[in-house]
Structure 1
Amino acid sequence: MPSGRLHWYFSRLAGQISNPGSDIGRLPFANITTLSVSHSTSSDSRVWLGALRGAMRFDSNATDIDAWRVFNSARYMPTRQSIVNVSSLAVLSRTRDAPSDLGSAAVVVTNRGLAIIRFEMWTLAQKADYFQKFFDPPSRFVKYGLVCGCLMSSWGDIRTCVKKPCDSDGLWTTIYLGSQVFRYAVTHDVEAKKEAWTYFETLELLNKVTGISGYPGRSVANRSDFPPKPRWYPSPVYSDLQFYGDTSSDEIVGHQFVHPLVHDLLAENDDERQRAYILILNITTHILTHDWYLIGENHNHTRWGIWNPLQINNDSYYQETRGLNSLQIFAFLLQTYAYSGDERFLNAVNLLIQSYQYDINLINQKMIAVCDNSFSDDELAYLSYFNLVYAFHTITSSTRLSKEQRHRAQDLIDHLLPYMQIGLDLSHKYKILEKTPFYNFIYCYASEQVNVTREATLKKGFRASFDCDSLSKDGVWFLRRWTLDPIEWQQFNSDRLDIQLNVPASKCQNEIQSLQLLPPDERSIARWNSGMYDVDDGSGWEALDPSSFLVSYWGMRYFNLLGA
């Protein structure tokens, strides 16, 4: 390599520290120890740098968000610490006769060992197939048909990862089931139907094991698995089972999100559709007949199973979730009405509007205070937006409901839509910054910009604030940068020079957060309910099931936001 070219690279890269406004971005780490470039005969503008805190790659031909790539945690480097001290780098570029899917590789020598970073060219479909295999039995992310992450007994060794009961086993299972329903609707693969139905039967069990109609357990286990412990109760129905109680609104949202999809897209006969319908009906009936509460095993309402207007509207403790819970209950009631035609549910919607102003609550669904940015609530909100709009379309296209019923329901839909749409757009002013495929595909659906809703507009006059062509590109970028490694490796991004820390949010959340979004493969892997701006999270002791990727990929496929 000519020395002049080497000096030119150093000049441009070093300039980032003194000139952060440069068009090639900012250098992630200082204390550079080595530099390497490709020796390929083909054109390659990428430069690799080693530093005390890891390796970096700069590509002058990439977009701003992809120009710098950082490899600085145990996901890439042989260390548990932030200091790794790269002493040398070698870039191994593909030859002209190499397979087309083989990319370049870098060999990184550090004071803690050797790291090899290899790139391959994959389609998103290949990536989805790769993640789907994580659920092949015996899956470390599945036990008793319930999906969740797993815990490792040996640091960083996924072979030792074992699934334990999770607080939200039911919710994570509904997310995975949703991905499989979309997958089946796209591919019509018999194996996809079989896979999905297995997990639906697990959700049926959660609804039966408590012995309380419309009250599903959070999780289930054999009584012999562990001795009695808090919030676990022996099943009054199955003598060999126990269930995890105090079920939250999170679980209910998941059930009510996925069962309509099972009913319409997965079930193939009246018996299968009836099984999905019964679960929808029982849950909503339970809430409606128990004074807008979820009443559990102790004959009291659960901690978070609350939709009662007197508490939601009048108790300041619930002011942050007032809009969220209003959105949820409207979705439950209208979805159940769409399938049952039972006027109790439509009358209940009208009551919540006329007497308790739940329609107005929808406007401020997302609270925007710095210290109250709840990513968990965001996930529940977008699942509920999906469910509510899905209910709207089920009603307007229903052949079960009479003309008079559809007309009466349409009046309420026309009334609710403007409030819902304002709240949705206000929410997405924040979610758009995260570029997530999950939130973006649901926004596209709820704002009537995708295939099934373009042909059946609910109400003319609404203009979405965000264009789905742009949102889809962001979603593709996020899926492309999603790491293949499911381990939640500890990250050390607060040391980086190219991010600004969000000091107020960091103090409120008791976790260091950034103002800029880092790519998903430079953060610890997380679900959609986790903080997107956390910079130093992860531990190396847990692994996460890939259902968050799969529901986003197949959701985008189903709504034609990815193409083939």
Structure 2
Amino acid sequence: MKARTTSWIIALFCLALSFPSAGQVMSSISQQIRKTIALPPNAGMEVLRLFAKGDSIRVVTSHGLFTYYQDSWSGAPFITGLQVATMDASRQIWLSNGRSLWAEDGKRIPNPALLPGESIRSLAWATSQTLLVGTNRGLHVWQDAWTRVPFPEEMAVNSLAVDAEGNWWLAADRGLWRRQKGRWTNFDQDVMAPGHESNYLTLEPADQGKTLYFSSASAVGALAADGNHWMARGSDGLPYGPVTRMAIKDGTIWMATEKGLIKKDSSWHYYAGKRWLPNDRVLDLLPLGNDRVWVATPEGIVELARIPMSMEEKADSLERVAEARHNRLGLINRSKLALPGELGSSFLENQDNDGLWTSCYLIAQCYRYAVTRDETARVRAVRTFEALERLETVTGISGYPARSYARATDLVAPSRSPHPKNWHDSADGEWQWLDDTSSDEIVGHLFSLSLFHEYLANASQQKRIVDLIDRIVSHILDNEFQLIDADGLPTRWGIWNPDSLNRSTNWMYERGLNSLQILSHLKTAYHFTGKEKFEKAYQYLVEEEGYAKNAVTAKMTDPFEISHSDDILNFFPYYNLLRYTGEDDPSRKLYVKSLRRSWEAVRSDRMPVWNLLASSLLGEDLDLDLAQAALEEFPLDQINWSFTNSHRWDLKKDEFPGRGRAEQALVALPAGESNVFRWNTNPKQLDGGGAGLSEENGSYYLVAYWMGRFHGYW
């Protein structure tokens, strides 16, 4: 079974059975972005509250009150140790440091008489003359003098609110209390479901106090004057809790937790990890309208917003990233970051599957040029083709492309693979190249080269492509369906011969997969060269060795271990195999059956490229709406951040772990909640990521987007 720890997989897609119009106009989508809001150096990082006041934003930190207006700050620290803040009906901010209460205009109220160990937790003005103060031991009321409200037992008052009728509400660790006409009622005891554990954390009035939103230890909900109450727990979609703060704006509910930010509109959204937040602990939040929100954390403030951006504009943005930081001598791959998340520390080095990932970038450029006839796409495609061509010529072994190459004078990074890989000097002394080439490279080369030949190569380039395909497949054919390395031995994964696939238990896992690949390679070579030796070999493998039947089960499924790293090796070959196999070929129906089976096996992964590939080849709409939705939500930030989802309430865990014993969910996670930027990743994996030490090149989006445009799907 392949343990492809270094193998990274990629794109797919098939070619159009018909040519869509090249000038499609793309409608605007709403793109989620993040902007860091740098606090003044003297403000400290401990944000207590965020308030909107006119066109400005008021930020209360433990050091004082600061104002953000037209992208600049004002204010200065005036006291340390601030703990709680609130805003009255006149938009005055009131502050407490545990010793006194005062307003920003200088008004003061003496502190309530606190018991030993008692501290203020919450403030709210019930009227212009009545201030409610919640503590860890109860409630105090200011009406020209302080009164401690007697309750049956001490309780921590976490949040306070006043509804449209002037009733007081308390969220406490001993219930949800309402004071109406002087009488206190504990809703938790009288009417609430027992699952709240009598522990309520926050209250937020909306609709002029007609609706009161609340959070408890295990849910969020709303009490509505019109009786249209609402509640959600994990099984209803609440990603995590308990929710510690809530804010409502334009019908959208924003929620703070100790592990991320939650948004509820027509669906649920979860923001956690460094892609979205400097720290997962959300201290406060402030919706600003137009889908903008400020989020305060112990490590600073960010603004999350949605901006209008077409899918093509997103493609342009991601391509600029690829060109700026991901081109090493024509090879396109992820970049490394010397400092976590710092794009200014980006650097490039060789990687084991440079050939495969470079092929993916060429695929995207071929589709782009086929749709737009853009000269930039043509230039980049030619440059990338020449890099793939060099991978083969640099080895000096006919038809044997290297995994990667570097200049002779470059320092090279050691392989991460457990299988030995060595560097060799080129015959001209100008280059060095990496051996032990995998089936990954062959699959990527043949798919991308065929697209380049068909959609933008000139006559001279077409001849070079045909010759290159001829050499690669001839090398495999002449060496008994194997890739032979510089040492004269087969490479670890370059095996397609019948003795291995059909008669060795060591290759049982790859039997269907590699059978599919070699049949596709032979059909590709025959299509471009017309040489009968390739068709003869194809017929032999089909008729004598049963490779077409093997190919039906190319995708390994339950109850076997699922290898997402092999999915690209599974899907890429379908394009050429189905394109270049005639309708009269009796094996064609087996290949169609294989593709349908493979797509059904990966359908729940919701990766756009698989849906696009299968739809284009099978002539059906196979979840194209999900593919488009995934691309629309795909983040612009391509940094490989760490992500954690195993704590979430809304995700059902699979009883069976994924590959490597990693916990996985039953459903795929969106790219923005994980790190699904390559096709060799498990989109259901709950935790993982790379600590912000690398950046992807955007090909995951680029291939899918331009393939979808090519086929006229959007």
TM-score by length of 1: 0.84
1:16 maps onto 2:232 in alignment:
yes
Taking the aligned partners of 1:544 and 1:512, their CA distance within structure 2 comes to: 24
Taking the aligned partners of 1:78 and 1:227, their CA distance within structure 2 comes to: 34
Q: Is the 8 A contact 2:408 2:425 kept in 1?
A: no
Q: Secondary structure at the match of 1:360?
A: helix
Q: Is the 8 A contact 1:35 1:50 kept in 2?
A: yes
Taking the aligned partners of 2:493 and 2:284, their CA distance within structure 1 comes to: 54
Q: Is the 8 A contact 2:351 2:404 kept in 1?
A: yes
Q: 1:3 to 1:370 in 2, by over 3 A?
A: farther
Please state how far the C-alpha of 1:323 moved relative to its aligned partner. Answer: 0.8
Q: Secondary structure at the match of 2:510?
A: helix
Taking the aligned partners of 1:143 and 1:85, their CA distance within structure 2 comes to: 39
Task: Find the counterpart in structure 2 of residue 128 from structure 1.
Answer: 315
Task: Find the counterpart in structure 2 of residue 389 from structure 1.
Answer: 578
Q: 1:422 to 1:50 in 2, by over 3 A?
A: same
Please state how far the C-alpha of 1:327 moved relative to its aligned partner. Answer: 0.7
1:87 maps onto 2:283 in alignment:
yes
Write out aligned runs for 1:302-341 (5 A): 302-341=491-530
Task: Find the counterpart in structure 2 of residue 233 from structure 1.
Answer: 423
Task: Find the counterpart in structure 1 of residue 274 from structure 2.
Answer: 74
Please state how far the C-alpha of 1:8 moved relative to its aligned partner. Answer: 7.7
Q: Is the 8 A contact 1:334 1:346 kept in 2?
A: yes
Q: Secondary structure at the match of 1:11?
A: strand
Task: Find the counterpart in structure 1 of residue 212 from structure 2.
Answer: 6
Amino acid at match of 1:193: R
The percentage of aligned residue pairs carrying the same residue is: 31
Q: 1:36 to 1:333 in 2, by over 3 A?
A: same
Write out aligned runs for 1:504-523 (5 A): 504-506=656-658, 508-523=659-674
Q: Is the 8 A contact 1:379 1:529 kept in 2?
A: yes
Amino acid at match of 1:27: L
Taking the aligned partners of 1:72 and 1:233, their CA distance within structure 2 comes to: 41
Task: Find the counterpart in structure 1 of residue 608 from structure 2.
Answer: 437
Q: Is the 8 A contact 1:108 1:114 kept in 2?
A: yes
Task: Find the counterpart in structure 1 of residue 93 from structure 2.
Answer: none
1:156 maps onto 2:341 in alignment:
yes
Describe the superposition over 1:140-199 as per-residue Cα deviations: whole angstroms up to 9, x where unpaired.
Answer: 211111111111111111211211111100000000001001100100112211111011
Please state how far the C-alpha of 1:370 moved relative to its aligned partner. Answer: 4.5
Q: Secondary structure at the match of 1:15?
A: strand
Amino acid at match of 2:422: W
Structure holding more helix per residue: 1
Write out aligned runs for 1:410-421 (5 A): 411=584, 414-421=585-592
1:285 maps onto 2:495 in alignment:
no
Write out aligned runs for 1:437-516 (5 A): 437-447=608-618, 449=619, 467-468=620-621, 470-506=622-658, 508-516=659-667
Q: Is the 8 A contact 2:406 2:432 kept in 1?
A: yes
Q: 1:295 to 1:253 in 2, by over 3 A?
A: same
Amino acid at match of 2:283: S
- Aligned counterpart in structure 1 of residue 295 of structure 2, from 101, 104, 108: 108
Please state how far the C-alpha of 1:238 moved relative to its aligned partner. Answer: 2.8
Q: Structure 2: which 5+ residue stretches go unaligned? A: 1-205, 223-228, 415-419
Q: Which moved more, 1:300-309 or 1:150-159?
A: 150-159
Q: Is the 8 A contact 2:512 2:554 kept in 1?
A: yes
Describe the superposition over 1:515-542 as per-residue Cα deviations: whole angstroms up to 9, x where unpaired.
Answer: 1111111112420111111121112111
Task: Find the counterpart in structure 1 of residue 562 from structure 2.
Answer: 373
Q: 1:72 to 1:236 in 2, by over 3 A?
A: closer
Please state how far the C-alpha of 1:228 moved relative to its aligned partner. Answer: 9.5
- Aligned counterpart in structure 1 of residue 248 of structure 2, from 32, 37, 43: 37
Taking the aligned partners of 2:490 and 2:294, their CA distance within structure 1 comes to: 58
Q: Is the 8 A contact 1:85 1:110 kept in 2?
A: yes
Taking the aligned partners of 2:638 and 2:386, their CA distance within structure 1 comes to: 26
Task: Find the counterpart in structure 2 of residue 276 from structure 1.
Answer: 465
Describe the superposition over 1:449-486 as per-residue Cα deviations: whole angstroms up to 9, x where unpaired.
Answer: 1xxxxxxxxxxxxxxxxx41x52211101101111101
Describe the superposition over 1:206-236 as per-residue Cα deviations: whole angstroms up to 9, x where unpaired.
Answer: 0100000100001001122127966333333
Taking the aligned partners of 1:420 and 1:86, their CA distance within structure 2 comes to: 51
TM-score by length of 2: 0.67
Please state how far the C-alpha of 1:436 moved relative to its aligned partner. Answer: 1.8
Please state how far the C-alpha of 1:47 moved relative to its aligned partner. Answer: 0.7
Q: 1:370 to 1:72 in 2, by over 3 A?
A: farther
Describe the superposition over 1:12-33 as per-residue Cα deviations: whole angstroms up to 9, x where unpaired.
Answer: 5983228x3xxxx321111111
Taking the aligned partners of 1:86 and 1:441, their CA distance within structure 2 comes to: 38
1:554 maps onto 2:695 in alignment:
no
Q: Secondary structure at the match of 1:122?
A: strand
Q: Structure 1: which 5+ residue stretches go unaligned? A: 39-43, 95-103, 397-409, 450-466
1:253 maps onto 2:434 in alignment:
no
Structure holding more strand per residue: 2
Amino acid at match of 2:247: S
Task: Find the counterpart in structure 2 of residue 180 from structure 1.
Answer: 365
Taking the aligned partners of 1:328 and 1:511, their CA distance within structure 2 comes to: 29
Taking the aligned partners of 2:663 and 2:366, their CA distance within structure 1 comes to: 37
Please state how far the C-alpha of 1:314 moved relative to its aligned partner. Answer: 1.1
Taking the aligned partners of 2:486 and 2:320, their CA distance within structure 1 comes to: 37
Task: Find the counterpart in structure 1 of residue 409 from structure 2.
Answer: 224
Taking the aligned partners of 2:357 and 2:270, their CA distance within structure 1 comes to: 30
What count of residue pairs does the alignment treat as equivalent?
A: 492
Q: Is the 8 A contact 2:422 2:435 kept in 1?
A: yes
Describe the superposition over 1:275-297 as per-residue Cα deviations: whole angstroms up to 9, x where unpaired.
Answer: 11111111111111111100011
Taking the aligned partners of 2:410 and 2:380, their CA distance within structure 1 comes to: 25
Task: Find the counterpart in structure 2 of residue 98 from structure 1.
Answer: none
Taking the aligned partners of 1:288 and 1:167, their CA distance within structure 2 comes to: 24
Please state how far the C-alpha of 1:444 moved relative to its aligned partner. Answer: 1.4
Describe the superposition over 1:320-362 as per-residue Cα deviations: whole angstroms up to 9, x where unpaired.
Answer: 1111111111111111111222111111111111211111101
Amino acid at match of 2:423: Y
Taking the aligned partners of 1:485 and 1:125, their CA distance within structure 2 comes to: 16
Taking the aligned partners of 2:561 and 2:413, their CA distance within structure 1 comes to: 35
Taking the aligned partners of 1:149 and 1:329, their CA distance within structure 2 comes to: 28
Q: Is the 8 A contact 1:371 1:505 kept in 2?
A: no
Q: Is the 8 A contact 1:438 1:551 kept in 2?
A: yes
Taking the aligned partners of 2:401 and 2:451, their CA distance within structure 1 comes to: 18
Amino acid at match of 1:49: M
Task: Find the counterpart in structure 1 of residue 433 from structure 2.
Answer: 243
Taking the aligned partners of 1:333 and 1:182, their CA distance within structure 2 comes to: 23
1:213 maps onto 2:364 in alignment:
no
Amino acid at match of 2:272: N
Q: Which moved more, 1:294-303 or 1:421-430?
A: 421-430
Q: Secondary structure at the match of 1:121?
A: strand
Q: Secondary structure at the match of 1:7?
A: strand
Q: Is the 8 A contact 2:634 2:672 kept in 1?
A: yes
**Which of the two has higher C-alpha Rg?**
2
Describe the superposition over 1:424-462 as per-residue Cα deviations: whole angstroms up to 9, x where unpaired.
Answer: 111111222122221111111221x1xxxxxxxxxxxxx
Taking the aligned partners of 1:14 and 1:495, their CA distance within structure 2 comes to: 24
Q: Is the 8 A contact 2:424 2:434 kept in 1?
A: no
Q: Secondary structure at the match of 2:502?
A: helix
Please state how far the C-alpha of 1:85 moved relative to its aligned partner. Answer: 2.8
Taking the aligned partners of 2:560 and 2:288, their CA distance within structure 1 comes to: 47
Q: Is the 8 A contact 1:437 1:479 kept in 2?
A: yes
Task: Find the counterpart in structure 2 of residue 531 from structure 1.
Answer: 682
